[in-house]
Chains A and B, each alone.
Chain A
Amino acid sequence: MSQSPSLVLRNLHKQFGKTQIIRGVDLSVQAGERVAIIGPNGAGKSTLFNLISGRFAPTSGEIHLHGQRIDGLKPFEINRQGLSRSFQITNIFPKLSVFENLRCSVLWSLGHRYSFWSFLSRLKDANELAQLWMERIQLANKRNVLAMNLTYAEQRALEIGITMAGGADVVLLDEPTAGMSKSETERFIALIKTVTQGKTLLAVEHDMGVVFGLADKIAVLVYGEVIAFDTPDNVRANARVQEAYLGSSPDQGH
């Protein structure tokens, strides 16, 4: 099991105009592993996620998901192959209810596609799965509330729900706890741990407490390169990481 990497990046490059953002990233994530990606602001963490999830096409290099090349594919094609992501800036369907948000998220994976010959209310599988996820993210009491009327923390939970409900087994979370208070963050990390059980997880995270609590492995990204990819203890002891972080605080960036 541990010999089958879920996600492999090979010599990945991305440049915007003349600016190199990602400069040759290699990474191999085993199935079921939880990887935290850390690094100063502007290191290219979000860009890396955008490349993997298909928002941008890489300039060069390869991305393999479950052994299949996915670099250059469209986001929906990558999603259909079992990779899903959340966003740093909450990205939900504001004028749909909580339940509708989640039901939309499960439709494709359950094979309902572009159906206009079946009624949503009669899709037992979709309704049950949406209900289940509503309970998992603890929003069951907000079933019919429009997403735009939720509190910030609730919207963040919905963001995770939309990401997970489709059943993808590789999940990218981009700063899931961004903008949350300390107590909310703790509750939220517990939630993330529960709902991502058994999934291959990559998360960009700034909060070191969260990183060490959540991750099996940490990838340190500095100026578009992975300078360390190891267990939390080894990363902490790594000389290059210390060097990279000495001149600047880990939270505030370069």
Chain B
Amino acid sequence: MSDLVSKSSVVSSDQWVWGLFAMLLVLAPWVFTSNLSMTMMSQMGIAIIACLSYNILLGQGGMLSFGHAVYSGMGSYFTIHALNMVGQGSFYLPVSVLPLVGGLAGMGFAVLLGFVTTRKSGTTFSMITLGMAELVFAMSLMFSEFFGGEAGVSGNRVVGEAVMGINFGPQRQVYYLIALYTFVSMVLLYALTQTPLGRILNAVRDNPERVEFIGYNTQQVRYRAFIIAGFFAGIAGGLGALNFEIVTAEVVGPARSGAYLLFTFLGGATFFFGPVLGGILMVLAFVLLSELTKAWLLYLGFVFLFMVVYAPGGFAALIMVNLRIFKAGAFGRLFNGYVGLLLSGLLMLAGASALIEMVYHLQLNAAMSSQLVFAGITLDTHAASHWWFAGSLLLAGLGLFEWQRKRFMGVWDQVQADLAGAGSKP
């Protein structure tokens, strides 16, 4: 009985979440009206689809692919070529369905390359995807006819006549196209997790050997999942082509594949919505963080390391765990600990980033001036006191953070034990 009740409430709360998400997508451009935010939101939609498609492999299938950008990238190329052919009048397709061309291209390449990669699992699988990614990237330099060489392939998304006043000229119209694709892709990808293939994929992730003994061919399960992931990656790539109106070889490059992996992991591969966070973070990092500091990749690397060590479930897992604690009314016990961690962490960050920025300044701009302004503070690379001060901040922060972390872990374990105890009681 209680089972029935909880089940029906889950369904309705799911519908609430989808409804809210749809509203968010529709209303966002009316709240964040600047050009920058419009560009960023468009990119976020694309990154969300890409990370979600990657998580079919990583989170749901246990396949650590190092070459997912091949499928999104080929989607981009096929879409931009299709766009140009439509522009030349070779054939007619509405611009709004062109991302599907990208999807089919991504799927086609997944059918082709996945046939080889998904024969294996684990480390071998990863190595083969790495090889495939290098192969395709190398080809992009060889076949400049298709890949456009250094300059890439550019296009113009305003082709043909406007349909109901929509010609995809203004960024806002492109945003809504991306938002629509994002919403539909998310619904479909969530639905996939509730189907026999989706569930058996989880089983293959957990224990591939056993799956073979309940009638399933694990290679076929992986292959099918791979093809579906390729399709949605291709859609993301196709949207990217429309959004930027230019496609360069880096879209199939190893750096892009690495970004999908990194941000899907940061967002959280174990929860469906983790890659959504990952996609948002990816754009924040690529657009804002890179604007803030030249050393942004270094910071990103530190965050990644930190998360792998302390929170391997990513932000999604952090949120879910704390939500559970909050619901159980135990969040108050952790509050002081979180404040302590935050303050000592900020101290550590201040020291470390001052050092990093000064080193970067020495390397890149030393000829101009010994001074740099970072976060409103003027630092002088020639003043020993500044180095000393930053170094001491970092050390003090490290010490305090470690002290706070140990204290926090004590409370944390206690809270977890209490919750587990409460949970096991009927």
Binds B, one of A12-20, A96-104, A177-185, A224-232: A96-104
Please state if B224 and A116 are interface contacts (CB–CB under 8 Å): yes
A81-116 at interface with B (beta carbon < 8 Å): 84-85, 87, 91-96, 100, 103-105, 107-109, 112-116
Residue of A nearest to B200 (CB): A104
Binds B, one of A71-79, A199-207, A211-219: A71-79
**Distance from A46 Cβ to chain B, minimum over Cβ atoms (Å):** 14
Q: Indicate if A53 sits at the interface (CB-CB under 8 A).
A: yes
Q: A75-B213, A114-B220 are in contact. Are A96 and B196 (CB under 8 A)?
A: no
**Choice from B191, B210, B216 contacting A108 with Cβ under 8 Å:** B216
What's the Cα separation between A100 and B196 when bound, in Å? 11
Residue of B nearest to A166 (CB): B214
Q: Indicate if B197 sits at the interface (CB-CB under 8 A).
A: yes
**Choice from B194, B196, B206, B212 contacting A93 with Cβ under 8 Å:** B206
Residue of A nearest to B221 (CB): A114
Q: Indicate if B300 sits at the interface (CB-CB under 8 A).
A: no
**Choice from A76, A87, A95, A116 contacting B217 with Cβ under 8 Å:** A76
Q: A113-B196, A116-B195 are in contact. Are A76 and B228 (CB under 8 A)?
A: no
Q: Indicate if B113 sits at the interface (CB-CB under 8 A).
A: no
Q: Indicate if A123 sits at the interface (CB-CB under 8 A).
A: yes
Interfacial chain B residues near A126, Cβ < 8 Å = 196
**Choice from A74, A76, A115 contacting B195 with Cβ under 8 Å:** A115
A113-156 at interface with B (beta carbon < 8 Å): 113-121, 123, 126, 143
Residue of A nearest to B212 (CB): A75
Interfacial chain B residues near A108, Cβ < 8 Å = 214-216
Please state if B200 and A119 are interface contacts (CB–CB under 8 Å): no
Please state if A118 and B213 are interface contacts (CB–CB under 8 Å): no
Residue of A nearest to B207 (CB): A93
Residue of B nearest to A165 (CB): B214
Q: A113-B196, A116-B192, A119-B195 are in contact. Are A96 and B213 (CB under 8 A)?
A: no
Please state if B207 and A104 are interface contacts (CB–CB under 8 Å): no
Q: Indicate if B167 sits at the interface (CB-CB under 8 A).
A: no
Interfacial chain B residues near A166, Cβ < 8 Å = 214-215
**Choice from B197, B202, B207, B209 contacting A114 with Cβ under 8 Å:** B197
Give the residue among B198, B212, B218 with the most A Cβ atoms within 10 A: B212
What's the Cα separation between A85 and B228 when bound, in Å? 32
Q: Is the interface of A mostly helix, strand, loop or mixed?
A: loop
Please state if B212 and A76 are interface contacts (CB–CB under 8 Å): yes
Interfacial chain B residues near A92, Cβ < 8 Å = 207, 210
What's the Cα separation between A53 and B215 when bound, in Å? 11
Q: Indicate if B203 sits at the interface (CB-CB under 8 A).
A: yes
Interfacial chain B residues near A76, Cβ < 8 Å = 211-218
Interfacial chain A residues near B212, Cβ < 8 Å = 74-76, 79
**Choice from B196, B209, B211, B224 contacting A112 with Cβ under 8 Å:** B196
Q: A76-B212, A93-B207, A108-B216 are in contact. Are A118 and B196 (CB under 8 A)?
A: yes
Q: A79-B213, A108-B216 are in contact. Are A103 and B199 (CB under 8 A)?
A: yes
Q: Indicate if A80 sits at the interface (CB-CB under 8 A).
A: yes
Q: A96-B203, A116-B198, A120-B196 are in contact. Are A104 and B220 (CB under 8 A)?
A: no
What's the Cα separation between A48 and B18 when bound, in Å? 53
Residue of A nearest to B420 (CB): A149
Interfacial chain B residues near A80, Cβ < 8 Å = 215
What's the Cα separation between A53 and B212 when bound, in Å? 10
Residue of A nearest to B209 (CB): A91
What's the Cα separation between A96 and B44 when bound, in Å? 31
Q: Indicate if A162 sits at the interface (CB-CB under 8 A).
A: yes
Interfacial chain B residues near A162, Cβ < 8 Å = 210, 214
Interfacial chain B residues near A112, Cβ < 8 Å = 196
What's the Cα separation between A96 and B220 when bound, in Å? 21
Please state if B195 and A104 are interface contacts (CB–CB under 8 Å): no
Residue of A nearest to B11 (CB): A121
B1-59 at interface with A (beta carbon < 8 Å): 3
Interfacial chain B residues near A121, Cβ < 8 Å = 194
Residue of B nearest to A91 (CB): B210
Residue of B nearest to A144 (CB): B3
Please state if B199 and A104 are interface contacts (CB–CB under 8 Å): yes
Q: What is the 8 Å Cβ interface bit string for chain A, positions 56-83, against chain B (1 contact, 0 not)?
A: 0000000000000000001110011000
**Choice from A87, A104, A113 contacting B214 with Cβ under 8 Å:** A104
Q: A74-B217, A80-B215, A109-B215 are in contact. Are A123 and B210 (CB under 8 A)?
A: no
What's the Cα separation between A107 and B224 when bound, in Å? 17
What's the Cα separation between A75 and B210 when bound, in Å? 9
What's the Cα separation between A118 and B218 when bound, in Å? 20
Please state if B213 and A94 are interface contacts (CB–CB under 8 Å): no
Interfacial chain A residues near B3, Cβ < 8 Å = 143
**Distance from A155 Cβ to chain B, minimum over Cβ atoms (Å):** 12
Interfacial chain A residues near B211, Cβ < 8 Å = 76, 104
Please state if A96 and B197 are interface contacts (CB–CB under 8 Å): no
What's the Cα separation between A143 and B3 when bound, in Å? 10
What's the Cα separation between A113 and B197 when bound, in Å? 8
Give the residue among B197, B210, B215, B220 with the most A Cβ atoms within 10 A: B215
What's the Cα separation between A75 and B219 when bound, in Å? 13
What's the Cα separation between A158 and B343 when bound, in Å? 48
Please state if B207 and A84 are interface contacts (CB–CB under 8 Å): no
Please state if A107 and B200 are interface contacts (CB–CB under 8 Å): yes
Please state if B213 and A85 are interface contacts (CB–CB under 8 Å): yes
Q: List 23 A-B contacts (CB under 8 A).
A: A76-B213, A76-B214, A76-B216, A76-B218, A79-B212, A84-B213, A93-B207, A95-B202, A103-B199, A104-B199, A104-B203, A104-B211, A107-B214, A107-B215, A107-B216, A113-B196, A116-B198, A116-B228, A119-B195, A120-B195, A120-B196, A121-B194, A123-B196
Known contacts A95-B205, A116-B196; can you find 19 more A-B pairs with CB under 8 A? A76-B211, A79-B214, A91-B210, A92-B207, A93-B203, A93-B206, A96-B203, A96-B206, A104-B203, A107-B199, A107-B200, A109-B215, A113-B196, A114-B196, A114-B200, A116-B224, A120-B194, A120-B198, A143-B3
